[in-house]
Amino acid sequence: MLLDTYGRVATDLRVSLTDRCNLRCTYCMPEEGLQWLGKSDLLSDDEIVRLIRIAVTHLGITEVRFTGGEPLLRPGLVGIVEQCAALEPRPRMSLTTNGIGLKRTAQALKAAGLDRVNVSLDTLRPEVFKTLTRRDRHHDVIDGMAAAREAGLTPVKVNAVLMPGLNDDEAPDLLAWAVENEYELRFIEQMPLDAQHGWKREGMITAGDILQSLRTRFTLTEEGAEERGSAPAERWVVDGGPATVGVIASVTRPFCGACDRTRLTADGQVRTCLFATEESDLRSALRSGAPDEEIARLWKVAMWGKKAGSGLDDPSFLQPDRPMSAIGG
């Protein structure tokens, strides 16, 4: 198992399949994009599947989430999902995507064995979407989510980030829309993971702000810690149910004590935390011919050194050099 010195056990693996993205969200990367990883730096499809197999069969991983960048840009995605679905024991598999391209791939992903999707959508207003993402693709995301629901990639979860002066007034509208369409909405506090390092705590939309806004239209009943478990989202039942809404308050209400995640970057580095400043290299071991047992040992060593928390409240906190697109969400 992947145990750390604080007694936490990682059972949830987040796998970044690419650092590339077809949007340019203001809270993630600059308009001109980034210097992408070279093809030789990226793990191959077979290397990704092998690492996931090791994680599942040697290290106790039960959940696998494919991320990016934008994972739908990975040409071999369907084949990777299909091979991982054949593992014993079979992990539950999900995908975090911006939704562009999901309309044409949802059925194939479901057939390959994907269980569900998380789709990022911060606004219901096409003009605000264009400002936030620097791309006019709002309709593609909406269509992609509908295709995922029809394909059975459910529950379809929606991830939304609220930004001051842009979409900070949309929380109630987003929730009403999600409930109507049977999507599960999750608001995420903006985190210091932008490539520009422009994040500032002052003025950010907090979990408290979001809940206050939602309560102007809805009655929210907290589910509680027992229902939450190790999930990053605190959840509330909406108007008596069955719909729920979640808030992932990584900045103002950190949940590090219950974290059960380990992360693999697109270039084969283990990360113990989104905010980690250090990584452990598995790619070199893979390519030097190391057996599965040695790779599993290296992974265990990396996770053993996981820190108690993200350190966001520490005056000495340094934002990771690598942005969200490089390390996976």
Asked whether residue 262 is marked as a ligand-binding residue, the answer is yes
* 71 close to 77: Cβ distance less than 8 angstroms: yes
Q: In what order do the strands lie in the sheet with 261-264?
A: 220-222, 234-238, 244-248, 184-188, 157-160, 116-120, 92-97, 63-67, 12-16, 261-264, 269-271, 280-281
Asked whether residue 84 is marked as a ligand-binding residue, the answer is no
Asked whether residue 21 is marked as a ligand-binding residue, the answer is yes
CA 280 to chain centre: 20
Asked whether residue 328 is marked as a ligand-binding residue, the answer is no
**DSSP code at position 265:** -
CA 193 to chain centre: 13
Q: Is 240 exposed, middle or buried (0-12, 13-18, 19+ CB in 10 A)?
A: exposed
* 41 close to 322: Cβ distance less than 8 angstroms: no
**Torsion of the alpha carbons at 272, 274, 276 and 281, rounded to the nearest 10:** 50
Alpha helical stretches, state H, the chain: 45-59, 77-85, 102-112, 126-133, 138-151, 171-180, 207-214, 225-228, 283-287, 292-304, 324-327
Q: How far apart are CA 247 and CA 253, in angstroms?
A: 10
Kindly give, in sequence order, each residue whose CB lies less than 8 Å from that of residue 70, ignoring residues fewer than 6 positions away.
18, 20, 21, 22, 23, 97, 98, 100, 101
Asked whether residue 273 is marked as a ligand-binding residue, the answer is yes
Q: How far apart are CA 93 and CA 85, in angstroms?
A: 8
Asked whether residue 120 is marked as a ligand-binding residue, the answer is yes
Q: How far apart are CA 156 and CA 177, in angstroms?
A: 13
Asked whether residue 259 is marked as a ligand-binding residue, the answer is yes
* 10 close to 262: Cβ distance less than 8 angstroms: yes
Asked whether residue 1 is marked as a ligand-binding residue, the answer is no
Asked whether residue 65 is marked as a ligand-binding residue, the answer is yes
Q: How far apart are CA 17 and CA 263, in angstroms?
A: 11
Binding residues for [4Fe-4S] cluster: 21, 25, 28, 256, 259, 273
Binding residues: 14, 21, 25, 27-28, 65, 69, 96, 120, 157, 191, 256, 259, 261-263, 273
Binding residues for S-adenosyl-L-methionine: 27, 69, 120, 191
Binding residues for GTP: 14, 65, 96, 157, 261-263
